Amino acid sequence: MSNDVELIELEEEEHTSSLTTPVLNRILGLLKPHRKSVVGFLITIALTAGLDSFFTYINKNIIDLAIVGRNYGILWKLAAVYGILQVIQSGMVFTFIYLAGVLGERIQYDLRRSMFEHLQDLSLSYYSQNAVGRLIARVTSDSGRVADLMTWGLVDTTWAFMNITAATIFMLIINWQLALIVLAVLPILTIIAINFRKKILVEFRNSRRANSKITGAYNENIQGVRVIKALGREEKNLTEFMDLTDNMYSATYRAAWLSALFLPTVQIITAIALAFIVWFGGYQALSGTLTIGGIYAFVSYLTFIMWPIQDLARVYAEMQHSIASAERIFKLIDTEPEIRDKPEATEAETLLGEIEFEHVNFYYEDRKPVLSDFSLKVKAGETIALVGPTGGGKSTIVNLLCRFYEPNDGTIRINGKDYKEYTLSSIQRKIGIVLQTPHLFSGTVRDNIHYGRLDASNEEVEEAAILAGAHEFINNLPKGYDENVGEGGNLLSVGQKQLISLARAILSKPELFIMDEATSSVDTLTESLIQQGMERLMKGRTSFVIAHRLSTIRRADRIVVIENGKIAEIGTHAELLKAQGHYYRLYTQQFKFQREQEYSFAKAVPLID
Ligand SMILES: Nc1ncnc2c1ncn2[C@@H]1O[C@H](COP(=O)(O)OP(=O)(O)O)[C@@H](O)[C@H]1O
Ligand SMILES: [Mg+2]
């Protein structure tokens, strides 16, 4: 687990919530689909716990009836019952542990699945507001914690309640006065146990957080060792590191101290109660109202009852954090996607028509205007190049076009109709997109191209790769198309990933093709391969191309220079050069830069013949 995610998790764990009826109902609702196994395992636990107290009762009778009463007949019968019930109980222990394990897995599966499905539906704006690490933490650890509460929490609670109830009943049967003494101690023990548990939990969290920060500091210092040395910051870093270590030491120290104090405290109170029972029970035994077996039973009930109380305290202390987890999960599931189909939305027949941005205004969540009064009309099949300084709004234009976001004002029309009248999926299906940082999924090269159109044949996959200019390098891979690309494609170079994502876009036969700086981080050879693939792809399609290298854009039908969310200039390459405006400056600057580079390269590496 990465350090950041761990820190986020710890931060989220800090939140506690108390149980309210709506949350309780929803949490219990998670059990609904698994009603049968829940009922099954609750009954098994209740019986198991009840038997626990019954065993003490049998032992009491063995002492009183068989041993004190010197009755061999009853002795072997009671021993046989004892043995048989023990075997039955073992079977039940197996059953409920197994059932609880299965149930926990199912609940986690349900939660993760509904979160995953929901995350896929949410609009991009949700992702830009919520750190991805946070989302991962939510899907993994929150669902785990809720599932734990609903299984092991439920096991412990049922077990404890049944144990206490059954013990109480047997104690009342044996001797009600002594039973009242034990019952008086219960609440005291419970309150102490809960308070200790809560404090220990807090200290453990503090120590875990300190530990996590120390790991982070180690990483940073080792990775940044050159910078640290160059700037002479060793001393300062050491001081910071020592502070972290001190924090961890004191948190761990407090946790250890509390843990050590907890059991003796409980034991002292129990001991006082025990002394009372021995004295009062002995007194009653002397006067003949209590048997020896009865004293034995009370001593064991009192010593055993400590454990269910501690279990209850632990579950209770952890429950508040689990409820906070559940609330975070429910909040995620309740988030409505910002972009949804209108009820009367229709399928977009084709995107190969006129596309028009009409007085579009747009801002992201921070409300800083990005596009203002942006208007542009694009004919079917036209290639539009978007150029201009970083942060001008080029990517935003294509984000809007893909309907990852929608305009705040103004309209985007496809075939004359507001694109909000169409279903989202019918638009997005017909768009092929290649981005600056290509994304591959783990699997083979073939799988990754296939992702563009799932019903494509192997021949079509290879055709697409040929068109993209990727076929040659794929064939040179040891396993060709069946080569594994690694997680996120990390076994391939950026250029190779880019060629594969281009092949994927080609396979999907888009009607609208978008490239956002796809050639920015590749070498010149790959760039020219991508360039050729792109040109084949753009034939007969409407395309939007964002690029820094002007050689890529020169052949576009129209070039749009975007500055500060506005169109600074628009026209063909020739027209814009002639106008000697923004584009002319961009072009000549880059041209000059290239020439200088070539010149200095030629000087540095003289040709040898
Ligand atoms: N997800 C986002 N949330 C908030 N602001 C954003 C987001 N994406 C881009 N911006 C801002 O919008 C402006 C335009 O960005 P962008 O469209 O990416 O420009 P370009 O692609 O031309 O470099 C920039 O000021 C950028 O900081
Ligand atoms: Mg951009």
Residues 261 and 357 both lie in one domain: no
Q: Which of 4-13, 171-180, 227-236, 306-315 has the weakest average pLDDT?
A: 4-13
Q: Are 95 and 43 in contact (CB under 8 A)?
A: no
The pLDDT of residue 351 is above 60: yes
User: How would residue 235 be classed by pLDDT, with cut points 50, 70 and 90?
Assistant: confident
**Taking all residues of the chain, what is their mean pLDDT, rounded to a whole number?**
87
- 397 in ligand 1 pocket by Cβ < 6 Å? no
Name the helix (H) or strand (E) containing 547. none
Residues 124 and 137 both lie in one domain: yes
Closest protein CA for atom 13 of ligand 1 = 391
Residues 233 and 372 both lie in one domain: no
Cα–ligand 2 centroid distance for 596 (angstroms): 27
User: How would residue 320 be classed by pLDDT, with cut points 50, 70 and 90?
Assistant: confident
Residue where one domain finishes, among candidates 276, 309, 334: 334
Residues 75 and 130 both lie in one domain: yes
Instruction: Report how far Cα 579 is from the mean position of its chain's Cα atoms.
Output: 53
Residues 121 and 196 both lie in one domain: yes
- Give CA–CA dist 259/199, Å, rounded: 9
Q: Are 541 and 352 in contact (CB under 8 A)?
A: yes
Asked if residue 605 is part of any domain, the answer here is no
Highest-confidence segment of 7-21, 208-222, 533-547: 533-547
Residues 452 and 533 both lie in one domain: no
Residues 443 and 393 both lie in one domain: no
Asked if residue 415 is part of any domain, the answer here is yes
- Give CA–CA dist 272/216, Å, rounded: 48
Residues 305 and 389 both lie in one domain: no
Residues 126 and 160 both lie in one domain: yes
- Give CA–CA dist 482/474, Å, rounded: 9
- 330 in ligand 1 pocket by Cβ < 6 Å? no
The pLDDT of residue 1 is above 50: no
CATH of the domain at 530: 3.40.50.300
Cα–ligand 2 centroid distance for 233 (angstroms): 36
Residue where one domain finishes, among candidates 461, 477, 509: 509
Highest-confidence segment of 133-147, 253-267, 460-474, 511-525: 460-474
List pLDDT tens digits, range 516-546.
888 777 777 888 888 888 887 888 899 999 9
List pLDDT tens digits, range 91-122.
999 998 999 899 999 999 999 888 888 888 87
User: What percent of the chain stands above pLDDT 70?
Assistant: 94
Residues 496 and 558 both lie in one domain: no
- 394 in ligand 1 pocket by Cβ < 6 Å? yes
Asked if residue 414 is part of any domain, the answer here is yes
**CA-based nearest residue to 244, from 273, 274, 276, 215:** 215
The pLDDT of residue 609 is above 60: no
- The tokens describing 439, both together, are 């994304």
Asked if residue 83 is part of any domain, the answer here is yes
Total-model pTM: 0.71
Task: Output the pLDDT for position 14.
Answer: 67
Looking at the 3D structure of the chain, how many domains does it have? 3
Residues 367 and 476 both lie in one domain: no
Closest protein CA for atom 17 of ligand 1 = 393
What ligand 1 atom has the least distance to the C-alpha of 516?
21
Asked if residue 80 is part of any domain, the answer here is yes
Query: Domain residues for 30?
Result: 3-334
Cα–ligand 2 centroid distance for 78 (angstroms): 82
What ligand 1 atom has the least distance to the C-alpha of 393?
17
Asked if residue 604 is part of any domain, the answer here is no
Task: Output the pLDDT for position 478.
Answer: 94
Residues 369 and 498 both lie in one domain: no
- 212 in ligand 1 pocket by Cβ < 6 Å? no
The pLDDT of residue 402 is above 70: yes
Asked if residue 600 is part of any domain, the answer here is no
Task: Output the pLDDT for position 486.
Answer: 86
Asked if residue 608 is part of any domain, the answer here is no
36-48 mean pLDDT: 91
C-beta neighbour count of 347 within 10 angstroms:
10
Cα–ligand 2 centroid distance for 391 (angstroms): 7
Cα–ligand 1 centroid distance for 560 (angstroms): 17
Q: Are 101 and 147 in contact (CB under 8 A)?
A: no
Residue where one domain finishes, among candidates 494, 509, 524: 509
